[in-house]
Chains A and B, each alone.
Chain A
Amino acid sequence: MNYPYDTERSFKNTIDWWLLGCYIVLVVFGWLNIYASVHGDEEASIFDFATRSGKQFVWILSSLGIAGIILFIIPPRVYEVISPLLYSIVVFLLIAVIFVGTDIKGSHSWFQFGPVSFQPAEISKITTSLMLATMMSHNGFKMQGRNFWITVAIILLPMLIIIAEKETGSALVYVGFIFMLYREGLSGWLLSIVGLVIVVFILTIVYSPFIGILIALVLISLFDAAQSKSLLIWALVAIPLIILNFLVSERYQLTAISVEAVLYILYSAFMAARGLHQKFRWATISVLAGMTLLVFSADFVFNDILKDYQRARIEVLLGMREDMSGVGYNVNQSKIAIGSGGLLGKGFCQGTQTAYGFVPEQSTDFIFCTVGEEWGFVGCVALIIVYLTLIFRIVLDSEHSRNAFTRIYGYCFASCIFMHLFINIGMTLGLMPVIGIPLPFMSYGGSSMWSFTTMLFIFIALDKDERKYF
């Protein structure tokens, strides 16, 4: 494409070096950790192609090739045009893989071509993001009515197919698009209620319906407080709650929560008596009713709808069951590996848990364990900061963009990284169920490396394209 301007800024000035920097740091750091996690007694070179670190090197090189193609060859404007086609192809592949795919660990989500296997679910994130961006950047798009349902359908279609492939973890990532939707005009209520439902569901299962209702009360009070923008209520309800959750031992947490709930009820009664902030009363009441329903249905859902392995994973996650040899083994080993790292870690290639294979899926889904064990608390926090920087830059670049396509795509991308990051790290820390999704840019594997690189560089290219003129 020819641009009629000769004021075009150079590559050096238009590319977001922060993004590129974060990318390189993550990829190299990931590669080192893969080397460390498979490094046993025999000293193998990091480039040894027989080892995972050697293969990852190949993935990295090929990813750089992909990055080059996206940056220098593919014109950024072409995505808007071809995204419906790409989306359709990928949806087709997603369906096809159910029938012709290879069964890997119980899920039918991989195509196998000789030694190379490939997972359409990984690419689906890209095409769905592009599709959403195309669709939502049309002039006159509004987050309501038909438009809204089309948007939801675009997200749900691949998501449901992936669930059918028994790749629940990958499907969960699509929930993240709600953040993008929120940015693009979805009501904050919806976002809040989705969060609320999840929290109350878990609490009901772990403790009792009574506690579930109490917590629902407390959380509604939080929204109430946020809406009335009263700092006093924030101080009264939210801050002690957050502190309590981290500091108070499990035994007293419930007591503390009950006290909070009683305080809130008293406060509400007081406010109601004085006839203040009636505005949100209807919302509060309806949400409360919904929560109560949910609380009583949670038991049913948990016991009758969820599958055995799903229930097992949730039970282990929620500490209802300590099963160190079965499902709980992974999480326990992962926590041991990370916990044994301490403040500064054991040093590169010095990890005993990682090098000797105590943690399963050490170089793929549980790569964070190696970071935790060998680089310690400091290394982990630094790594999280790098990811945060990456997400921050994407969000800020998106906000600065005058092009809705770029912005929406950027938010989709940021949501995907966010979901992967928190599910993956949360899982290794025992905060999330064991859901097999990779840590972006770091986990071993060609599919995920290629797809995240592609996603990132499409964004960099879109961003660069705009910067040329401003």
Chain B
Amino acid sequence: MTIEKHSKLLFGLVLFALVLIARLFSIQILDEKYKTSADNQAMFYQTIYPARGVIYDRNGKTLAGNAIVYDIMITPKECQGIQFDTLELARTLNLDVEYIRERFDYYRKYRRRIGWQQQIFAKRVLPEVYMKFAEIMYKYPGFRGVKRSVRSYPINAGGNLLGYCSEVDDNYMQKHPGIYRPGDYAGRTGIEIAMEEELRGEKGYNIFLRGSNSQIKAKYKDGEMDLEAIPGKNVVTCIDADLQSYGQRLMENKVGAMVAIEPGTGEILALISSPGIDVNMLNDFGANYSIISENKYRPMFNRAVAASYPPGSVFKLVNGLIGLQEGVLTPETRYKCDHGFYYGNKRLGCHWHNSPLDMEFSIMTSCNAYYCYVFKNILENPKYSSIQERFDRWNEMVHSFGFGQKLGSDFPSELAGNIPTSEFYDKRYKKNWNAYSVISLSIGQGEIGCTPLHIANLAATIANRGYYYIPHIIKASDGVEIDPKYYQKNYTMVDTTHFQKIIKGMYKAVNAGQGSGATAWVGEVKGLDICGKTGTAQNPRGDDNSVFICFAPKDDPKIAIAVYVENGGFGATWAVPMASLMVEKYLTGEITRPEMEKRILEGDLMYKVKPY
């Protein structure tokens, strides 16, 4: 059979057509690459940045709000080959000519990788600068201003607490895939990072079409496909902005921390670490970073939750309570104090006061010897068979106050602190130890480490007569829920009835009057019924630390506070008046002792503190 030539030709024609169709099939149906390319070059996504959620204090005052700035974006591909007036650009945007050159060199060098992507040309241009630039923007194709909101801080309160936001880096983007793109901001420390998910909101975009000459032509489908940005959720904190700000002022030129808690809820009213970060530094943290990191007193270090301090005499309250609970101490028990506690050929000294004394007086006057006896009795309790058993029982009870562990607050970087175990001493003393070996624990010295937050929590626990709520800074509000654990009462292993006895002593420590032997008489405020306990903790790096915890009013506590001033000397010298002023400020809103306030505000202890 011979095939006609025209049939062969037509057959060939069909084959050729099939080649074209196969090619079309592969380009149009199989390969997605071309569709993506088409979208990338014809569609221009302009990101709309959402306003970050506002951070409020407990009374609705704004701690961190939003202000508008502009980022100048550039799509280098759109301005390829165009000569700019670099000088004018530099002048208008307050930039360095050298900087502009560098940027353009960079775009040229990486033009392939950049492609149609937008690059950030200049960040955080203030609105008034941007307006000037907008007038001449027509001369600079490829440039675009993107409005974005940055933080504004109406009150100087809680720099360390709030934390800062900064542009995400590669590492951060990899950890949170799909959420961030270069140029986005995210919280890095403090509340900003703890509440990042709530605060960040959702980005939106406008889609524009652009032509081959890169000019924006029109809105894609009249904006039908655009996505609105969803602003971040607002976050309400428990912080009292005024109290926080006042505390910061009191702590100026001192190193230490202050934590105020509302005992009835566990809400943190103020959390101050000094020296701290000024809120005005937060907004452009990168630019201020060197100033902050070069400060030898480490303002980034949040002492309130992350510094391990010996609690000092305030810890006598814990030992007293344990003694009462264990039955080795009654309020009526009296011990003699002869300027100290003698064991073997050693002495643990004490200041001058009446002797012998009962428990109430021991708290009021903060007798060291008394608590050495109490602690010795705890560790020689015949109920238990060995020192280890007794010690671990003690350890367990101390833990029930929240010491030696992270309390579980919603604040990042909380420190667990340290309460030693019997194992630790077994190791140290090769199992050959007794109460005297660890006697300094009785007065809150030695191997105990705790944070000001732990100490404040102790104040709140005593104020509550035996339980605490986990201290926290975020309040539940519209759209923001908090962990149910913050609503739970955490009881200590000490019966609630014992607390009343301790509180009597704490009341007297503040209110018994000058000359009575009361250690905290300077903190007395008539009518506020402040109950407190001073502490003077040894500091190997210099003068003793001045410590004070208190709560008020005695019968209906509204505030519990711990003040820890490094190298401040006696508790009564700095910590007591500071706490007292804080309580007064919080409860009455005014200060009746301006000369005391003046002394504190002007007090400068920095010369005593050895920088790191």
**Chain A residues within CB distance 8 Å of chain B:** 40-41, 179, 182-183, 188, 246, 333, 335-343, 352-353, 355-358, 372-373, 376-377, 380-381, 384, 388, 391-392, 395, 398-399, 418, 422, 425-426, 429-431
The CA-CA distance from A388 to B16 in the complex, in Å, is 10
Given A182-B9, A337-B38: A356 in contact with B28 (beta carbons within 8 A): no
Range for the number of chain B residues in contact with chain A: 35 or more
Q: Is B13 in contact with chain A by the CB < 8 A criterion? A: yes
B42 sits at the interface (CB 8 A): yes
Q: Could you tell me the distance in whole angstroms from the C-beta of B206 to the nearest C-beta in chain A?
A: 16
B23 x A342 contact (CB < 8 A): no
Contacts of B13 in A (CB 8 A): 388, 391-392, 418
Chain B contacts of A246 at CB under 8 A? 22, 26
Scoring A337, A340, A343, A395 by chain B CB atoms within 10 A of each residue's CB, the highest score goes to: A340
Which residue on A lies nearest to B43, using beta carbons?
A352
Cβ contact within 8 Å between B20 and A336: no
Contact B17 A356 (CB under 8 A): no
Which residues of B does A touch, CB under 8 Å? 5-6, 8-10, 13-14, 16-17, 19-29, 31, 33-35, 37-39, 41-43, 209-213, 217-218
The reply to whether B14 and A336 contact each other, CB–CB distance below 8 Å, is no
Contact (Cβ within 8 A) B217 A353: no
Instruction: Tell me the smallest distance from the CB of A371 to a CB of chain B, in Å.
Output: 10
A343 partner, pick from B6, B29, B33, B213, beta carbons under 8 A: B29
Query: Contacting B210 at CB < 8 Å: which of A342, A356, A398?
Result: A356
Contacts of B33 in A (CB 8 A): 339
Say which residue of A355, A376, A388, A418 sits within 8 Å of B28 (CB atoms). A376
A384 and B21 contacting across the interface, CB-CB below 8 Å: yes
CB distance from A330 to the nearest CB of B (A): 12
Query: How far is the CB of A346 from the nearest CB of chain B, in Å?
Result: 9
Give the Cβ gap from A357 to chain B, nearest Cβ, in Å: 4
Cross-chain contact A183 with B209 (CB below 8 angstroms): no
A336 touching B34 by the CB < 8 A rule? yes
Pairwise interchain contact A395-B17, C-beta atoms closer than 8 A? no
Q: Can you show 5 pairs from A to B with CB atoms below 8 A apart?
A: A182-B9, A246-B26, A339-B27, A384-B21, A388-B17
> Are A377's CB and B34's CB within 8 A?
no
A343 and chain B: residue at smallest CB distance: B29
- Across-interface contacts of B39 in A (CB, < 8 A): 340, 352
Residues of A within 8 A of B26 (CB): 246
CB-defined contacts of B19 to chain A, threshold 8 Å: 431
Is A429 in contact with B217, judged by CB distance below 8 angstroms? Answer: no
Q: Chain A residues with Cβ under 8 A from B6's Cβ?
A: 183, 395, 398-399
User: How near does chain A come to B216, taking the closest CB pair, in angstroms?
Assistant: 10
Other-chain contact of A179, B9, B24, B42 (Cβ < 8 Å): B9
Q: How far is the CA of A188 from the CA of B4 in the complex (A)?
A: 12
Q: Cβ of A357 and Cβ of B213 under 8 Å apart?
A: yes
User: Contact between A341 and B22 (Cβ–Cβ < 8 Å)?
Assistant: no
B8 cross-chain contacts in A, Cβ below 8 A: 188
Q: How far is the CA of A425 from the CA of B217 in the complex (A)?
A: 29
Q: Which residue of A lies closest to B210 (CB)?
A: A356
**Cβ B10 vs Cβ A392 within 8 A:** yes
A272 CA / B10 CA spacing, docked (Å): 34
B8: nearest chain-A partner, CB-CB: A188
Partner of A429, one of B5, B27, B35: B27
CA distance A176 to B34 in the complex (A): 32
Chain B positions within 8 Å of A339 at CB level = 27-28, 31, 33-35, 37-38
CA of A182 to CA of B209 in the docked complex: distance in angstroms? 51
The 4 closest A-B pairs by CB, nearest first: A339-B34, A340-B38, A352-B42, A356-B211
> Cβ of B38 and Cβ of A377 under 8 Å apart?
no
Residue from the list A356, A391, A392 in contact with B42, Cβ < 8 A: A356
- Alpha-carbon distance between A372 and B33 when the two chains are bound, in angstroms: 15
B20, A358: Cβ atoms closer than 8 Å: no
Indicate whether A183 sits within 8 Å of B9 (C-beta atoms), given known contacts A358-B42, A422-B20: yes
Select which of A355, A356, A391, A429 is within 8 A of B20 by beta carbon.
A429
Pairwise interchain contact A356-B212, C-beta atoms closer than 8 A: yes
Q: A182-B5, A352-B42, A395-B6 are in contact. Are A335 and B34 (CB under 8 A)?
A: yes
CB nearest neighbor in A for B30: A339
A353 touches B20 (CB 8 A): no
Contact B29 A353 (CB under 8 A): no
A75 to B209, CA, bound (A): 54
A377-B218 in contact (CB<8A) = no
Whole-angstrom distance between the Cβ of B222 and the nearest chain A Cβ: 12
Complex-state Cα separation, A455 to B34, whole angstroms = 37
